[in-house]
Structure 1
Amino acid sequence: MSVGAPPDAFNARGQDWGLPPWRPDRLAESGYAPFRELLRALFRYAGALRIDHVMGLFRLWWVPQGRPPTEGTYVRYDAEAMLAVLVLEASRAGALVIGEDLGTVEPGVREALRERGVLGTSVLWFERDWDGDGRPLPPDRWRADCLATATTHDLPSTAARLTGEHVELRDSLGLLTRPLQEERAEAAADIGEWLALLTHLGLLDGTGGTDTSSEEAEIRAVHRFLLRTPARMVGVWLPDGVGDRRPQNLPGTWDQYPNWRLPIADAEGRPVTLEDLAASPRLHALMEVLRQPPDASGG
């Protein structure tokens, strides 16, 4: 068995992460000792912990060996016990916990996390009025108990999303389940709505264009938007600071893509050294946005 995720709007073929699952019965028999020891080891070196796929504390999608992710099934865990151990160890370490509550989230998960002081994760491109007109959610309507970001390690960089290059990449790897032109059109419409909102809020000058300076301005506008939300934390994906086009991890792939093996690169795909990163004018301009008070971020 390995763990993964069922098909969803972003990965219609499901995901197989190639990782063995914890057996819930063995965890209970051990008094959750392996989980407790893992947390203690992490909190020994960190003041904050981000839990990837935090829904795994409630249930995990198990995929039988040799079968596609679509043929997996959910296996439930004792969420009350898992959360109790997590919160206890975080409290002992004086650490903050952030859960990646993205994707397929069953009812009650976000509420259970919030009640225990675990922050959620809100990604700009997913924040829409899903119960209303479906349009981008204005910053004042975002939740407060979250880490607000433009992207994550599992998603396209902001530059790739703005240019649509993520669609081409997924098409080249056979991950699309719809015609390429349909995917391109939907991605362009999505970006168009967000850029229109950024312009309306005075965060972007609205000149448009496809040159690098326009792209940089749009990325800075995205982060100005995040600063206007009530989110307790705002995160920056470091490749966004230099215009990297490639995702660090591409869900739905195993050995078809070099997941977790790509050095950070600039907009032309050239690897960036730590010294180059620290001296990057593009990164410095983005960091300057984040240093501004929210009320001053509109420019």
Structure 2
Amino acid sequence: MAVAATHDLPTLRGYWESGDLTLGKTLGLYPDEVVLRGLYQDRELAKQGLLDALHKYGCLPKRAGHKASLMSMTPTLNRGLQRYIADSNSALLGLQPEDWLDMAEPVNIPGTSYQYKNWRRKLSATLESMFADDGVNKLLKDLDRRRRAAAKKK
């Protein structure tokens, strides 16, 4: 099963903006600043690797940025990340409505109980409005097309 995120991972926006690391610091999840600095450094390397792969496999337009440290999360980058996962030859694909809606806040933070309101965050749109959104529908059609193409390559 191919996934970009799960209920225990940050959303795409949260990951790209390191919001999970910032929130983890606020909640006291890291033992010291050295560990946190290392996590931020690892994240920047991972983001650059992802961005390079998105360009290599045509999941982003050529005009999109090539330096992750200078690139903020945009609808184009968000869609590119989801396209990249959809293009895999995995039998199953799992995506989150939070990423279709470009949300940043996680639904759950592992390692917390009282520090964070796990499982209480709601989607930023109702299901009706989400599935009536032209951008969401365009994304889902694109991902469906890509999944069908990936299945034919097997």
Q: Quick one: which of 189, 202, 216 aligns to 2:75?
A: 216
In the other structure, the counterpart of 2:130 is: 277
> What is the CA distance between 1:161 and its match in structure 2?
0.7
In the other structure, the counterpart of 2:28 is: 174
Distance 1:248 1:293 in 2: 28
Q: Name the structure, 1 or 2, with higher relative contact order (CA <8 Å, separation 6+).
A: 2
**Higher helix proportion (structure 1 or 2):** 2
- TM-superposition CA deviations, 1:228-277 (whole Å, max 9, x none): 22211111111101011111111000011010111112xxxxxx223322
Say if 1:178 and 1:188 are closer, same or farther in 2 by CA, change over 3 A. farther
Aligned residue runs from structure 1 range 135-174, under 5 A: 147-174=1-28
- TM-superposition CA deviations, 1:110-142 (whole Å, max 9, x none): xxxxxxxxxxxxxxxxxxxxxxxxxxxxxxxxx
Q: Indicate whether 1:195 and 2:51 are aligned.
A: yes
In the other structure, the counterpart of 1:286 is: 139
* Structure (1 or 2) with the larger CA radius of gyration: 1
RMSD over aligned Cα atoms: 2.0
Say if 1:172 and 1:230 are closer, same or farther in 2 by CA, change over 3 A. same
> What is the CA distance between 1:178 and its match in structure 2?
4.4
- TM-superposition CA deviations, 1:76-113 (whole Å, max 9, x none): xxxxxxxxxxxxxxxxxxxxxxxxxxxxxxxxxxxxxx
**Higher strand proportion (structure 1 or 2):** 1
The unaligned stretches of length 5 or more in structure 2 are 66-70
Distance 1:250 1:243 in 2: 18
> What is the CA distance between 1:148 and its match in structure 2?
1.0
Say if 1:260 and 1:254 are closer, same or farther in 2 by CA, change over 3 A. same
> What is the CA distance between 1:166 and its match in structure 2?
1.4
The unaligned stretches of length 5 or more in structure 1 are 1-146, 266-271
In the other structure, the counterpart of 1:134 is: none
Q: Indicate whether 1:204 and 2:63 are aligned.
A: no
- Kindly provide the amino acid, as one letter, of the partner of residue 220 in structure 1: R
Q: Across the two proteins, how many residue pairs are aligned to each other?
A: 141
In the other structure, the counterpart of 1:237 is: 96
Please give the TM-score of this superposition, normalised by the length of structure 1.
0.44
Q: Secondary structure at the match of 1:292?
A: helix
Q: Secondary structure at the match of 2:2?
A: strand
Q: What stretches of structure 1 move > 6 A for 4+ residues in a row?
A: none
Say if 1:231 and 1:200 are closer, same or farther in 2 by CA, change over 3 A. same
Please give the TM-score of this superposition, normalised by the length of structure 2.
0.81
Percent same amino acid at aligned positions?
27
* Mapped contact 1:149–1:235 kept (Cα < 8 A): yes
- Kindly provide the amino acid, as one letter, of the partner of residue 52 in structure 2: A
Distance 2:100 2:87 in 1: 20
Distance 2:14 2:134 in 1: 20
